[in-house]
Structure 1
Amino acid sequence: MTPGASRAALAAVTAAGAAGLGAAVWGVGIERYLFTVREHDVRVLPPASRPLRVLHVSDAHMAPWQHRKQEWMATLAALEPDLVVNTGDNLGHADGLAGLRHAFDGLRGVPGVYVHGSNDRYAPSPRNPLRYFTGPSKRNATASKLDTGALDRYLSDELGWADIDNTAATLDVADLRIDTFGVDDAHRDWDDLDALPPLRAHQRDAGSADLVLGVTHAPYRRVLDTFTDLGADLLLAGHTHGGQVRIPLSSKALVANCDIPLDQARGLSTWSHGGRDVPLNVSAGIGHSIYAPVRFGCRPEVTLLTLLPRG
């Protein structure tokens, strides 16, 4: 190799290394703190209904030292939601509940529902991030259990939110009757779709719900298809972290850690099944595993959905 070629190769390697270092600094030190409220309007309500503000929160993965995240989440009450939907993975550490209390206490009294993710039951563990490219992650049999009971007592007894793991609940919110159903974490095969009630749209009568929500932590196709068959008007999920590391400006995640199409792993899209088209919102989530403290091209987020009358 000539001296000129050697210098060019060295410059290319140096530039690549600098770019990689810059990306790491941005993802670890900056972007994971750029908390964002993503807003969408969705026309799913009966005619003449007033707008309904739904705050969709997911994947806080809370650890006690994450004060910036806690402080930002504490501001969410100022959005004045009518309903909160929490799609799980609230905990990221055995002592994460104290941080969640600070984050969510301002939402006391706001109606809500929630389902669990696996990190509401088991602590996170180190993983090789490259393995996510080979398919959904496997359960770590040695992961330590978290105090799910304390989490549920806080969410249900103190905040007043309904646990809809493999069950349903009906809420009266802003002069609307809302039927909700959900499943436990499908990523761990804890979902029991047969336990859900038959709420098919064609079976509704004049006294039935104004809105039906299908709620899951992990947006596996089998779950979304069943929710659509059961008559859900809106589907809400988390789990994917939006890919967590994305190519900037790309419409697709690199990975989703489930079988959802990669272009639907973050944000609002349409789920089509059985002749029905249903809005689907997949939250990229607020946090990350304590063993993977990075966000790149995928800011941490919550979603404020303004539900409007159908056109």
Structure 2
Amino acid sequence: MEEWINGLILLILAIGHFELWVTFINRTHALPIHEPTLKKMRHITYVMLLGFPLVLFGAVGLYSPGVLVGGEWSRLSFWWKPVFVLCVLGFLGFLVSVFRHLFYRVPRLQTESHSEMIDIREKLGHELIGDGPYHYLAGLPFNEIFCVEFSRKTFVMERLPAAWDGLTILHLSDLHFSGTLTRDYFGELCRIAGESQPDLIIFSGDLLDEMHCLDWLDETLEQLEAPLGRYFILGNHDWNQQSEQIRTALTRRGWMDVSSQTLQLEYAGHSLLIAGTEVPWMGEHPVLPAQRGEGAADFLLLVSHTPDNFYWACSQGYDLVLAGHTHGGQVRLPVVGPVFAPSVHGTRYTSGTFYRKKTLLHVSRGVSGIHPLRFLCPPEFSLLTLRARPVVET
């Protein structure tokens, strides 16, 4: 019985160690570090994730002091003790992450949510795997990469003008054109998205992983239309490519770049401000017109590639923030939830809707990724309907 208890302790320590390295990889991938360096970091992390449990169970469990075969913890070498303290702290962090996932509740401002699962491969009836990076992952069993969720969510916004009640926004994020998933996949997805006839379209970054796919725009994003316009920012994967060429290609096709700036448009007698930020990879946070002594808009919308800018957006008084970047974690474990998420907040804002200080954040799981692997975390694009808060008569 004692050996079983010792085995459980070693397992807890191994999980804690795993959490520490996951924390390291999540936080570093939220920083402006180029992909070659990040790739080296990932390789080191994989070695540590696999190697430490083997050393732990072999050295401590079976060899010295051999707690799995009758040995005593008191014989443990001193240098193991600080390592175990760190592992315990890591395990506590793991528990916090799991409980936060299990007890997540959508904000009350989200009053409706409906989803439609669309199997793009079944719908088109032909192969959609190309020869791009990591294409072998796309064909793995149980991979949900081709089963896209079209989510429709309704938000009641406190400052939304009554004249805008029912305003719809198509939120797209993280297309990651690379050739791994064929052009037909994205073309069909954009065709379905366009049928929703939104008032406004927002793309929150990460368009390309391979520059040769830039001409895919003609059959994908260019076919989308909205009466109030199409707006975009770029993401960290675009930053790793030729970002200015990507930006130019989108603007030539009628998309409006809001990165590091604000655009104000008049609609139904009220002003809507749309701002964008690509921080920490490119540019700076936009300065609101009110901070320059100009007139304030009736409603403030921020497009941010990463949800890490949420707290900044709250401090600036934005009403709605649309973000992506984290892909929902791509792989979610039962009970545990997402594990890997490139964010300074870890998995806290991996996907979904969050509310803080009168600012609502919507994080999309995105459409694709450089690693075409999804498990319990299907790709997503969303139609968001904004409703004005009813006026209470006194």
Q: TM-score, normalised by structure 1?
A: 0.72
Q: How big is the shift at 1:199?
A: 4.6
**Cα distance per residue 1:186-233 (max 9 Å; x no partner):** 2x3x3523x522658xx999x64231011110111xx22221121100
Candidates 196, 213, 228, aligned match of 2:287: 196
- From the CA coordinates, give the structure whose radius of gyration is larger: 2
Q: How does 1:86-97 map to 2 (within 5 A)?
A: 86-97=203-214
Q: How big is the shift at 1:163?
A: 1.2
Candidates 314, 319, 326, aligned match of 1:228: 314
Whether the 8 Å CA contact 1:116–1:185 is kept in 2: the answer is no
Whether the 8 Å CA contact 1:236–1:281 is kept in 2: the answer is yes
Equivalent AA in structure 1 for residue 383 of structure 2: L
- 1:242 paired with 2:242, answer no
Secondary structure of the 1:228 match is helix
Alpha carbons of structure 1 residues 248 and 174: separation in structure 2 relative to 1, 3 Å: farther
Counterpart for residue 248 of structure 2: 153
Secondary structure of the 1:95 match is helix
Alpha carbons of structure 1 residues 121 and 74: separation in structure 2 relative to 1, 3 Å: farther
Unaligned 5+ segments in structure 1 are 1-20, 123-144
**Cα distance per residue 1:117-161 (max 9 Å; x no partner):** 022232xxxxxxxxxxxxxxxxxxxxxx33x334323322322x3
- 1:42 paired with 2:155, answer yes
Q: How big is the shift at 1:259?
A: 1.7
- 1:61 paired with 2:196, answer no
Whether the 8 Å CA contact 2:165–2:388 is kept in 1: the answer is yes
Whether the 8 Å CA contact 2:153–2:383 is kept in 1: the answer is yes
Counterpart for residue 307 of structure 2: 219
RMSD: 2.7
Q: How many residues align?
A: 248
Distance 2:361 2:367 in 1: 18
Equivalent AA in structure 1 for residue 315 of structure 2: D
Q: How big is the shift at 1:24?
A: 4.2
Candidates 344, 347, 360, aligned match of 1:259: 344
- 1:25 paired with 2:25, answer no
Alpha carbons of structure 1 residues 296 and 173: separation in structure 2 relative to 1, 3 Å: farther
Secondary structure of the 1:35 match is strand
| Greater relative CO, 1 or 2 (CA 8 Å, sep 6+) | 1
Counterpart for residue 372 of structure 2: 293
Distance 2:231 2:389 in 1: 23
Secondary structure of the 2:218 match is helix
Counterpart for residue 172 of structure 1: 266
Whether the 8 Å CA contact 1:245–1:295 is kept in 2: the answer is yes
Equivalent AA in structure 2 for residue 47 of structure 1: A
Distance 1:61 1:77 in 2: 19
Q: How big is the shift at 1:300?
A: 0.7
**Cα distance per residue 1:97-117 (max 9 Å; x no partner):** 222321112224540221110
Determine what percentage of the aligned residue pairs are the same residue: 28
Distance 2:385 2:289 in 1: 26
Q: How big is the shift at 1:240?
A: 0.2
Q: How does 1:95-114 map to 2 (within 5 A)?
A: 95-108=212-225, 110=227, 111-114=229-232
Whether the 8 Å CA contact 1:118–1:185 is kept in 2: the answer is no
Distance 2:332 2:343 in 1: 16
Q: How big is the shift at 1:66?
A: 3.9
Distance 1:184 1:241 in 2: 17
Candidates 236, 259, 264, aligned match of 1:118: 236
Candidates 365, 372, 380, aligned match of 1:284: 365
**Cα distance per residue 1:164-195 (max 9 Å; x no partner):** 21111112345542102221142x3x3523x5
Whether the 8 Å CA contact 1:168–1:196 is kept in 2: the answer is yes
Whether the 8 Å CA contact 1:60–1:92 is kept in 2: the answer is no
Distance 1:107 1:73 in 2: 7
More helix by share: 2
Secondary structure of the 1:213 match is strand
Distance 1:53 1:204 in 2: 30
Distance 2:269 2:222 in 1: 25
Distance 2:234 2:346 in 1: 22
Equivalent AA in structure 1 for residue 235 of structure 2: G
Whether the 8 Å CA contact 2:190–2:223 is kept in 1: the answer is no
Secondary structure of the 1:196 match is coil
Candidates 267, 275, 278, aligned match of 1:184: 278
Alpha carbons of structure 1 residues 175 and 76: separation in structure 2 relative to 1, 3 Å: farther
Q: How big is the shift at 1:246?
A: 0.8
Q: TM-score, normalised by structure 2?
A: 0.58
Whether the 8 Å CA contact 1:83–1:173 is kept in 2: the answer is no
Secondary structure of the 2:339 match is coil
